[in-house]
Amino acid sequence: MSGKYRFKTAKKGRGTAALRPALFLILAVLPLLFALTSFTASRKQFVPSFKRDDFNRRHDWWQYHRDGSAAGDAQAIVNGKGYLRIRLKNPVSDKECNVGISDFQNIYGKRFSYLNMEARVRLLTPMQPGSRGWGFWKSRKKAKSHTLAWFMQQKDPQEPKLSWSMVGTIAGKQRRVTVWPVDTAWHVYRIERDLALRRTRYWIDDSLVLETPGLAPGERLSFHLWIDNQVYSRRGVKRTGWSGSSALVADYVQISTQRHFPASAPEQMHWPVALYRAFNRIVHGKGTYPVGTFPFRTIGDTVRVILTARAENLMPFDKPDCLRAFLDGREVKALAFDGRRDRGTDESRVAVVPLLAGEHTLKLTGQSTPLLYDVLIVDGPGKMVLNKGRREWDEKTFFWHTAVSKPGKAILYAAVRADETDGQEGELDLRLQGTALSGRRHFTFRGREQFGDTRTIVRELELKTGRLEIHAKRRGHAHLERLFLFLAEGSEK
C-alpha cells in the first residue's frame, strides 16, 4: 500500500584521469537525458479531468505494485481482459508484500476541489491477515497515515480490535467512519470529496452509506487499490506471513475532477434528428436491467438508428456485458452488443428500420456493465450518402465528396477512438469544406484527452447548392469507428 522510493548509489571510480573520456560523453547526452526525464515526470504528474480504466490494456497513469512475495508471482496482476484481477499469495512476515495499482504519489491537490471515484469491485476470497481496500490516501514516508477517504478491511488474528471493515474519512485528528458490510458480490463503490461544500460522501451501489459534512481531506491525495500483509495501528505497522492467497477483481475504475460527466454532444437538436441522448458512461444494474426508455416522434416512414457502445467479456467472474435496443417493443438485432463477441472493442452500429409516422419509443436494456456512449435516431425522407465504419476504412487519410443539388439540412455523425500509448498520441483531424458550406468545419480527436475511449460528435449542417468535401487524416493510435452523413429532404412538419 505504501509508496516506494528507491535510489541506487554509484560505484567508486578508478580516478579522475580514467573518467575524462566518459566525461565528454556524459556532457553530450546530459541534455537528452534531462529532456527524457522531464517528459517522463510530466507524464506521471499529468492529471486528466476524467480518466476511466475498463482494464482492456495497461494505462500509463497507474503504478502497478508487486512487492515482496508478489514480485515472483506472474499471476499477481492480470490486466487487459476487461478486468483487473490482483492476488497476494504466500506473503512473508519480514517483507512488505503488496499488490495493486495506484496513482503516482499525491497528485490530487487543492486545485482539484472536486474529486469523484467510482469502481466496480468483487472480493474473491475471505479476508487474510493484512489489509485490502480502495480509495484516496496521502502517501507518507516513515509517518502515520492520517489523510484518507476510502473503503478498507484489515485482519489481525492475534488482536481482534485490529480486525475491522470500515468506510470513512480521516483528516488529521478528525475521524468519521462506519462499518462496511462486506460480502463477495459485485458492488459499485463511489467516493465524492468536495472541498467547496466541505463534505465527503460514500455510496455502495446506489445507497449512500456515509456522509461527513464539514470534513473533506484537503491534503494531496492519490488513488490506491491494494492487498497487502500489513496491519496498521497506533503502535505502527505489523507484517504477517501466511500460506494461501487473497484476491479481488475490479471491472473498472474511473476518477473525475469535474462535477459533470463529459457528454459527447448537446442533446437539444432539431429535425431530422428525432432523438439524441449522450451518455458516455458505464451503465450497471442487476440481471437484465432497463437503461432507459425514450419517446420520440417521426414524420417519415424510415428511421436510421446509430448506437455506439462497448461490451466486454467478464467471464469467469461475471456474465458478459450486453446491450439491447428495442423500437416499440421489438428488438433491433443489428444494434445488439455482446461481450462474448465484441470483447471490449468499441463499436458504432447503424440500423435502418421502417417506422410509420407517429409516436414511438426506444428502450435500451443492459446486462453487467456495458459502456454506452450515445444513441442517435435520424428521421424523415432523405438519403444516407455516407456510412462508413472502422472495418470499411482504416487508412491514414480519407477523402470523400458529393454534389449537393438543392439546399437543405444534413446531419453529420462521427465516432473516433483515440489512444495514447507509451508516449505516442493518436490523433485524427476531420475537416468539412466546399461550396455547399458557408465556411469550414474542423474537428480534432486527441489521445491525451480520450485515453482509448471513443468520442462522438453530432452536427446539424445547413447546406447550399454546391460541393461538399470531407477530409480525414489520422496519426498513431486513432481509428474512425463511424462516419455518417444524412441529407434530409423537405422540412419538419
Which of 14-18, 47-51, 128-132, 273-277 has the weakest average pLDDT? 14-18
pLDDT level of residue 490 (50, 70, 90 thresholds): low
**Distance from first CA to last CA of the chain, Å, rounded?**
63
CATH of 47-256, picked from 2.40.160.40, 3.40.50.1820, 2.60.120.200, 3.40.50.720, is 2.60.120.200
Tell me the pLDDT tens digit for each residue of 442-489: 999 999 899 999 999 999 999 999 999 999 999 999 999 999 999 998
How far is it, in rounded angstroms, from Cα 359 to Cα 355? 10
In this predicted structure, what is the pLDDT of residue 23?
Answer: 29
Instruction: Return the C-alpha cell found at 350.
Output: 447503424
pLDDT level of residue 143 (50, 70, 90 thresholds): low
Q: What is the pTM of this model?
A: 0.88
Q: Is the pLDDT of residue 378 over 50?
A: yes
Q: Do the domains at 47-256 and 261-380 have one common CATH topology? A: yes
What percentage of the chain reaches a pLDDT higher than 70? 87
Phi, psi of 261 (to 5 degrees): -65, 140
In this predicted structure, what is the pLDDT of residue 228?
Answer: 98
In this predicted structure, what is the pLDDT of residue 267?
Answer: 56
The closest of 186, 185, 210, 215 to 198, measured between CA atoms, is 215
Q: Is the pLDDT of residue 343 over 50?
A: yes
In this predicted structure, what is the pLDDT of residue 3?
Answer: 40
Q: Is the pLDDT of residue 11 over 60?
A: no
Beta bridge partners of 64: 101
Tell me the pLDDT tens digit for each residue of 164-179: 999 999 998 899 999 9
In this predicted structure, what is the pLDDT of residue 266?
Answer: 54
| CB 480 within 8 Å of CB 398 | yes
In this predicted structure, what is the pLDDT of residue 213?
Answer: 96
pLDDT level of residue 263 (50, 70, 90 thresholds): low
Q: Is the pLDDT of residue 4 over 60?
A: no
Side-chain-side CA neighbours of 172 within 13 Å: the count stands at 7
Beta bridge partners of 398: 472
Domain ranges of the chain: 47-256, 261-380, 383-493
CATH 2.60.120.260 is the classification of domain 261-380: yes
Average pLDDT value over all residues in the chain: 87
In this predicted structure, what is the pLDDT of residue 261?
Answer: 63
Which of 95-99, 378-382, 387-391, 397-401 has the weakest average pLDDT? 387-391
How far is it, in rounded angstroms, from Cα 160 to Cα 76? 28
Residues 6+ apart with CB under 8 A from 225: 86, 100, 101, 102, 119, 121, 133, 134, 250, 253
Mean pLDDT for 391-404 is 86
What percentage of the chain reaches a pLDDT higher than 90? 76
How far is it, in rounded angstroms, from Cα 119 to Cα 82? 13
Which of 106-120, 249-263, 472-486 has the weakest average pLDDT? 249-263
How far is it, in rounded angstroms, from Cα 393 to Cα 131? 49
Mean pLDDT for 434-447 is 95
Q: Is the pLDDT of residue 406 over 80?
A: yes
Which of 25-39, 324-338, 406-420 has the weakest average pLDDT? 25-39
CATH number for region 383-493? 2.60.120.260
Amino acid at 408: G
Neighbour count for residue 237 (Cβ, 10 Å) = 15
How far is it, in rounded angstroms, from Cα 209 to Cα 216? 16
Mean pLDDT for 411-422 is 90
Mean pLDDT for 280-301 is 95
Q: Is the pLDDT of residue 20 over 80?
A: no
